[in-house]
Amino acid sequence: MLPAVSIAKVRPVVSGSAGPEHSRPILESMDDSMERTDWLDKDGVDPNWDEAFADEILGTLVLLGITHRQPDGTVTKEEQFHGYVKSVDQRRGITIKLEGDDVREEINLPPMLEVFERAEPGIYTDRTGNAVRDPDFIAYWTVTSGTS
């Protein structure tokens, strides 16, 4: 069973996309027997899904920033990752094959395409000194636990 979490995008702000109706769990691991569909409408479709953009981000290099908070807003953990988009599916979410210190791992994210913004060209360095040159996209997430 997945822990109760809610997610809000912290940057960039897209009108209407940070509210509770767009809260979806970050899935730390997922196998082929798992499928999350609670964000789909009664017809099994996400009305905001952009298949062309989903195809565009597939295989691209992404920087991820994930902030974990308690319900009172206290930050409990901040993480930075980078990797390549391995799969994009409106039911299963977005899987990132991590690079750098996390090269053997993957992270599964909710299928929220609106959190991906194009990255400016340049060298990005995380807190541990890992440098990433010219990523394609950046995505920021805030995960709020369901309990204090």
Residue 96 is predicted with a pLDDT of 93
pTM across the whole model: 0.71
Q: Which residue has the higher pLDDT, 76 or 36?
A: 76
Please answer whether residues 46 and 40 qualify as being in contact, where contact means their C-beta atoms are separated by less than 8 angstroms: yes
Residue 147 is predicted with a pLDDT of 63
Q: What is the mean pLDDT of residues 40-55?
A: 78
Give CA–CA dist 10/74, Å, rounded: 15
Whether the per-residue pLDDT at 97 is higher than 90: the answer is yes
CB atoms inside a 10 Å sphere around CB 56? 16
Coil, strand or helix: which one is 27? strand
> How many residues does the structure list for the chain?
148
User: What average pLDDT does the chain have?
Assistant: 74
